[in-house]
Amino acid sequence: MDAVQQPPVSGINVIGLTKNDYRGKPSTLCKGCGHDSISQRIISVAYDLAIRPQQIIKMSGIGCSSKTPAYFLNQSHGFNGLHGRMPSAATGALLANHTMAAIGVSGDGDTGSIGLGQFKHMVRRNLPMVYIIENNGVYGLTKGQFSATADEGQRLKYAGVNELPAIDVCLEALVADCGFVARSFAGDPRQVEQLLKAALSHNGTAVLDIISPCVSFNDHEDSTKSYAWGKAHEEIINEFSFIPAREEITVDYEEGETVEVKMHDGARIQLRKLDGKHDPRDRYAALRLLEEAHRSQELITGLIYVDEGRRSLAEREHLSETPLAHLTERELRPSQAALDSLMAELM
């Protein structure tokens, strides 16, 4: 299979695992896809933090992004569920075993379109998991329709002009009382890893919105100019038959800085990295921050809001120390005597 092969590395971490032990199957995503770099960050962080792969569950929905759990942490159980319905499955899994750490990977369509309801209710329950949105503003796997996070007025060859305002998943998380809200850019390894580490240590839902460019479904201005990539073309074939190999887009900028990033389609986005001035404990400041960014068409990156105060779902449920999934007949099946007294009440 012609897929992204990952270079082997030497060295072991404190629990004696090599980085390879944290890898997954070869990726089948497009070359240069932002999602693949995020997988690499997860692998590095898990290796650095010396997490036991057996203590992790990987959850995802449906989409190119949601395929990625197959491409990292081979030694962790994975659950690639249904489109937009991963939060509920994760809720059940963590109720059944609250000692597991969950990493969820979703897409902007998976979370912002079909999955918005489950996403909001998961946040409301404060389900303890790292919830990553690999946000490219399009439906990658179905070939380039707009998702709910696409910017108003944005133009794509396939989908035309987006007439609808974008859903800001960070704002959505915030108003749903999320205790950890952060944003980053797939091409910023340093920041993504920092935020991943912080998210993994958060007890509750940690929402990490990572802008992750889709190399395949955007307007190849250049090529269209030199190359009649017109309507006639699309009509005849039912798929984008040609996906030119692209380079991954990377950025490196400091706190407080703003950078302009050129997407594969020539479009530009503004990233502003938060600095010490922003107090992520002030929900109200976080709201203002996102509202302002919304107006100035900026993307704020960094830790936007954090509140360690909320009880997580597991705590609220008074779950037994032993995971429910490990309870035996002894705890679970009442005695004959118990049945007798229940019967007595009904006579």
Partner 1 sequence: MADLQNSPASVNNFCIVAATINGSGSQTANNVLVRALFRMGIPVSGKNIFPSNIQGLPTWFHIRVSEAGYVGRRDTTEVLVALNRSTAAQDIASVAPGGVVIYPTEWKLTEDRSDVFYYALPVQQMAKDSGANAELRPYVANMVYVGALAELLGIDLDEIERAISDHFGGKKNPIALNFGVVKAAVEYTRQNLPKRDSFRVQRSDKTAGRVMINGNSAGAMGAIFGGVSVAAWYPITPSTSLVDALGDYAKDLRVNKDTDEHYYSIVQAEDELAAIGIVIGAGWMGARAMTSTSGPGISLMTEYLGFAYFTDIPCVVWDIQRMGPSTGLPTRTSQGDILMAYYLGHGDTRHVLLLPASMEECFEFGWRAFDLADRLQTPVFVMSDLDLGMNLWMSERFAYPDKPFDRGKVLSAEDLKRLGGFNRYSDADDNSGVGPRTLPGTDHPLAAYFVRGSGHNAHAEYTEKPDEWMANLERLARKHETARTLVPAPVVDEVDGAEIGIISYGSNDPAIREARDMLAKAGVETSYLRLRALPTTKEFQTFAAKYDRLYVIENNFDGQMRHILQTEAPARANAMRAVKLCDGLPLTGLWIAKTIVSLEQER
- Interacting residues with its own copies (CB under 8 A): 113-118, 120-121, 124-125, 148, 163-165, 167-168, 171-172, 175-177, 283-284, 287-288, 291, 311, 316
Q: Does 214 bind ligand SF4 (CB under 6 A)?
A: yes
d(CA 99, CA 52): 12
For CA atoms 256, 257, 262, 264, the dihedral sign is negative
Written as one letter, the residue type at 243 is I
Query: Rounded to the nearest whole angstrom, what is the least distance from the CB of residue 162 to ligand TPP in the complex?
Result: 14
Rounded to whole angstroms, how far apart are CA atoms 316 and 296? 39
| Minimum separation from the CB atom of position 63 to ligand SF4 (A) | 8
Smaller CB separation from Mg ion, 144 or 280: 144
For residue 46, state whether it binds partner 1 (rule: CB under 8 A). Answer: no
Structure tokens at 128: 């303890």
Rounded CA-CA distance 30/42 in Å is 19
Q: Is 259 in the site for partner 1 (CB under 8 A)?
A: no
Q: Tell me the per-residue interface mask from 68 to 87 with ligand TPP, x by CB under 6 A, - otherwise.
A: ---------------x----
Contacts with Mg ion in 128-187 (CB under 5 A)?
136
Find the part of the chain contacting ligand TPP (CB under 6 A) among 3-11, 141-149, 168-176, 317-325.
141-149
Closest CA to 65 of 238, 213, 249, 242: 213
Q: Which amino acid is at 211?
A: I
Give 143 or 294: the residue with its C-beta nearer to ligand SF4.
143
DSSP classification of residue 184:
E
Single out the segment in contact with Mg ion by CB under 5 A; choices: 48-56, 106-114, 174-182, 222-230: 106-114
For residue 201, the partner it binds in ligand SF4, partner 1, its own copies, none, with Cβ less than 5 to 8 A by kind, is none
How would you label 96-126 residue by residue, b for 16+ Cβ within 10 Å and e otherwise?
ebbebbbbbbbbbbbbbbbbbebbbebbebb
Of 77, 69, 56, nearest to 29 by C-alpha is: 69
Q: Which residue is nearest to Mg ion (CB)?
A: 107
Asked if 30 touches ligand SF4 (CB under 6 A), the answer is: yes
- Give bridge partners of residue 145 from the DSSP assignment: 139
Nearest Cα to 265, choosing from 137, 76, 102, 176?
137
CA 276, CA 319: separation in Å to the nearest integer? Answer: 38
If one asks whether residue 15 binds partner 1 (CB under 8 A), the answer comes out as no
Give yes or no for a contact between 203 and 308, defined as CB atoms under 8 angstroms apart: yes
36-65 residues near ligand SF4, rule: CB under 6 A = 64
Q: Which is nearer to partner 1, 21 or 193 (CB)?
A: 21
Rounded to whole angstroms, the Cα distance separating 213 from 218 reads 10
Of 93-101, 173-181, 201-209, 262-270: span binding partner 1 (CB under 8 A): 93-101
Residue 36 in the binding site for ligand TPP (CB under 6 A): no
Q: Does 213 bind partner 1 (CB under 8 A)?
A: no
Q: How far is the CB of 20 from partner 1 (least distance, A)?
A: 12
C-beta closer to ligand TPP: residue 140 or 302: 140
Angle at CA 197, nearest 5°, toward 193 and 203? 150
Point out which residues bind Mg ion (CB under 5 A).
107-109, 136
Point out which residues bind ligand TPP (CB under 6 A).
62-65, 83, 107-110, 134, 136, 138-142, 147
